[in-house]
Amino acid sequence: MFPVFYLAVLGAGGVFTASNPAYTATELSHHLRISRAKFIITESLQLPIVRDAASYTGIDSDHIFLFNDTEVEVDSAHTSIQQLMSYGPSKWTTFDDMKRSTSTIANLNTTSGTTGLPKMAARSHHSLVTEHQAIEEVNTKLYDVSVIFTHITTRD
């Protein structure tokens, strides 16, 4: 489901950031604070740590969405991803010009924190597409590639 969550956040116009599932509540609250997160998607097993970190950073509990695990009882205090997906399609954010794709952040990655606490490194939509294209150009496929999304090209 990770790719689905990632693309849904981008399509809704948000900025995606992922954290280490081994984080303590203190480490996660640092991540949430420096990324300025507004919403959290988590699984049942991580919920106690996520709740603590969210309370430390002022994120409302109704902004925590629960990816339900079939083996864990559903927590009715949080909206499940299944409930969220029942809203159906909406108008997706598009990046149909070079200026917008280069200036809009797609995701925030945490640095290793070798000189202190981890920091955020921002990646634009254009940066991600360019990186993907560079990788695809050197890796031949033994199958036909189907393109779902179109990419932005520079104007002459």
Please name each of the domains of the chain with its CATH number.
2-138 (3.40.50.980)
H or E segment to which residue 98 belongs: helix 98-103
For residue 7, is pLDDT > 60?
Answer: yes
Q: How high is the pLDDT of residue 123?
A: 94
Q: How high is the pLDDT of residue 73?
A: 52
pLDDT category of residue 3 using cuts at 50, 70 and 90: confident
The answer to whether the predicted template modeling score (pTM) of the entire model surpasses 0.85 is no
Q: Report the candidate in 40, 70, 75 with the shortest Cα–Cα distance to residue 58.
A: 40
Phi, psi of 36 (to 5 degrees): 60, 40
Distances in Å between the Cα of 151 and the Cα atoms of 7, 13, 26, 76, 118 are 15, 17, 39, 40, 32
